Structure 1
Amino acid sequence: MIDLHSHLLPNIDDGSKSLRASLRMANEAVENGIEAALMTPHHMNGHYVNHKADVIQLTSQFQEHLDKENIPLQVFPSQEVRINGGLIEALDNDDILFADDSNRYLLLEFPDDDVPTYSEDMIFKIMQRGISIQIAHPERNTKIMADPDILYSLIEKGAIAQVTASSYVGSFGKKVQKFAESIIAHNLAHVFVSDAHDLPNRDYEMREALNKLNSVMGKAYQQQFEKNAEAIIDGNNVEKLIPEPIVKRRFFNGF
């Protein structure tokens, strides 16, 4: 199993505060069936700046610690990049890491409660460069929850979306769980990730999420999610089903 989104690197963002915690999290990942994981520290989010060269070096050092401790987890450098006005410049300056060696898949994060008005235009400019956008945890974005058409529009235009496994199995509460289920049922998500942090309710629940997906949506859908993770880390095409808009129920007084 491949995890495309995790915060295991110690002392670099809000994911892990010590090497000991990072090694424990790595063991938990292996116990959950994960064999390879992208290290995706926050970048340019207003709190953390983790430059490409630094993440590459720290990931290599962490792999050495994993090997020394005989933890069978392969780790690769990447970033969770916050959409911001300096993103295009950062791309031009080669300070952005991707999910794959061919620089095709970029993990993009919105603020928790907003999708900036310039997002669609900036994403279009990025995709014109041959870069595919992965949208991080849309099921937890309150703006998207209130207006699912935002996500539908982005997916329809070629973006792909990650759903956090813990969201799908209910660790973030019923509201987030229901929206994650709806995203998946409407073909607006393409892969599960852990988004693991050393925080409460931020554990590895990838196997649980895939088992639920198999039960709810069928074996073929579950296998598609697993194959898509492999395709992304290899820089290959993701398998997509036709996206469908989420129609929210509206109630009007007097009707």
Structure 2
Amino acid sequence: MIDIHCHILPCVDDGPKTLAESLDLARLAETEGITKIIATPHHQHPSFMNSGYEVVRKVEELNDAFKQDGIGVTVIPSQEVRLHGEIIQHLELGDVLPLTPEGSYILIEFPTNSIPRYATRLFYELKLKGLTPIIAHPERNKVIVEDPDILYDFVKDGVLTQVTAASVTGHLGKKLMKFTDQLIEANLTHFIASDAHNGTERPFRLREAYSAVEGRFGIEMVYQLQENAELLINQQHVQVWPPEPIRRKKRFFGLL
């Protein structure tokens, strides 16, 4: 399996605090059947800054440590980039990285409680540059939960999304699991990734998530989501299915 969103680099954000913790997380990845991980430390986050050049250097060091320890996992450098107005300039300077070297996808994070007004325009400009935004964990954004049509409009315009494995499995709550199911059913997401930070509170859960998807949507959906991760890592165009708006139940007298 391939994990396109993981905080496995040590000492850079709210992921592992030591190299030993990163090694433990990589061993856990092996038990899940994960062979490739895209390292996505937070960048341009209010609490964390991880420039592209530093991420590339630290990923090289981590891969060397994995080889020395006999860990069969390969790490690819990237970032989880908080949306900001200078992304395109920073991409050109190498401060912001696509999800694969010289790739055409970029992982974008919104603030938890908002979506910047300039997001639509910036996504359009990124696409003009040949870069497709992938919105990280949209199911955890308050604005999207309250109005899923916002996400529908993004996806209709060519933006992709990635949901978190723990959202699929229900570890983040039943309401969030139900909403994530709605996103999958409406073709409003294209990847499942772990967003793993450690081996305890925020582990991978990818295998469990794919098992849940198989149980609720069938094996074909599992194949489609897994293949998209393969296509992305190989710098090919991912599969996109026609999105549908999420149909909400009408309210009567203020009640569902």
Q: Secondary structure at the match of 2:6?
A: coil
2:148 and 2:74 map into 1 onto residues whose CA distance is 35
Gaps of 5+ in 2: none
Question: What do the CA deviations read for 1:5-48 (whole angstroms, capped 9, x no partner)?
Answer: 00010000111111111111111111111000011100001211
Question: What do the CA deviations read for 1:186-242 (whole angstroms, capped 9, x no partner)?
Answer: 111111101001275311111111111112111111101111001111111111221
1:226 match:
226
Letter aligned with residue 201 of structure 1: E
Question: What do the CA deviations read for 1:27-84 (whole angstroms, capped 9, x no partner)?
Answer: 1111111000011100001211111110000000001111111111011101110001
**Structure 1 vs Structure 2 CA RMSD:** 1.5
1:123 match:
123
- Asked if structure 2 preserves the Cα contact closer than 8 Å seen for 1:172 and 1:201, the reply is no
1:254 and 1:237 map into 2 onto residues whose CA distance is 44
TM superposition score normalised by structure 1: 0.96
Deviation at 1:88, TM superposition (A): 2.6
- Asked if structure 2 preserves the Cα contact closer than 8 Å seen for 1:15 and 1:199, the reply is no
- Asked if structure 2 preserves the Cα contact closer than 8 Å seen for 1:101 and 1:234, the reply is no
Tell me: CA distance 1:205–1:199, structure 2 relative to 1, closer, same or farther (3 Å). Answer: closer
Letter aligned with residue 3 of structure 2: D
Letter aligned with residue 12 of structure 1: V
Q: Mapping of 1:148-227 within 5 angstroms?
A: 148-198=148-198, 201-227=201-227
1:250 match:
250
Q: How many residues align?
A: 255
Deviation at 1:174, TM superposition (A): 1.0
Q: Secondary structure at the match of 2:103?
A: coil
1:60 match:
60
- Asked if structure 2 preserves the Cα contact closer than 8 Å seen for 1:168 and 1:181, the reply is yes
Q: Mapping of 1:141-152 within 5 angstroms?
A: 141-152=141-152
Q: Secondary structure at the match of 2:5?
A: coil
Q: Secondary structure at the match of 1:9?
A: coil
Q: Mapping of 1:68-79 within 5 angstroms?
A: 68-79=68-79
Q: Secondary structure at the match of 2:237?
A: coil
Q: Secondary structure at the match of 1:133?
A: strand
1:61 and 1:163 map into 2 onto residues whose CA distance is 29
2:206 and 2:66 map into 1 onto residues whose CA distance is 21
2:91 and 2:189 map into 1 onto residues whose CA distance is 25
Runs (4 or more) in structure 1 with deviation over 4 Å come to: none
Gaps of 5+ in 1: none
Tell me: CA distance 1:250–1:234, structure 2 relative to 1, closer, same or farther (3 Å). Answer: same
2:21 match:
21
2:113 match:
113
Deviation at 1:103, TM superposition (A): 2.6
Question: What do the CA deviations read for 1:70-108 (whole angstroms, capped 9, x no partner)?
Answer: 111011101110001222321232221111233301000
TM superposition score normalised by structure 2: 0.96
Question: What do the CA deviations read for 1:121-180 (whole angstroms, capped 9, x no partner)?
Answer: 111111111101111000111111001011111111011111111110011111111111
- Asked if structure 1 preserves the Cα contact closer than 8 Å seen for 2:169 and 2:177, the reply is yes
